[in-house]
Amino acid sequence: MQLAWKAGRSDNLAHFRFTPGAHGGTATAIDDTAHELINPTFNRPLRPLAPVAHLDFDEPEPAQPTLTVPSAQPVSNRRGKPAIPAWEDVLLGVRSGGRR
């Protein structure tokens, strides 16, 4: 028997041998993945993991707070952009109720 499943982009397979019996049968693990599924205290991991590097960085000193005064923005004489209709309104030919 073969058991297959996806975990992210990985395709995982586990192989078992089925022996029919009086009360259904017995499945015996053939490969390491199948052993891991049956016995979760299996010593060897399914896949080796890379060790996490612990780097010793110096913590930067906090910066001195500075006061910033926002400058006054001049009033614009331009008009705003016209409203763009939704795509459903364009397909259905609905006109906007704006000023003319």
% of the chain exceeding 70 in pLDDT: 81
Q: What does the pLDDT look like over 18-67, one tens digit per residue?
A: 999 988 999 899 998 898 888 877 566 667 777 878 777 777 777 777 77
Q: Where are the domains of the chain?
A: 2-38
pLDDT at 4: 92
Q: Could you tell me the pLDDT band of residue 16, with boundaries at 50, 70 and 90?
A: very high
CA dist., res. 63 & res. 78, Å (int): 40
Coil, helix or strand at residue 42 = coil
- Read off the pLDDT of each residue in 64-88 and give the average, rounded to a whole number: 74
Q: Is the pLDDT of residue 86 over 80?
A: yes
Any idea what DSSP says for residue 50?
P
At residue 91's C-alpha, the angle toward residues 87 and 92, to 5°, is 115
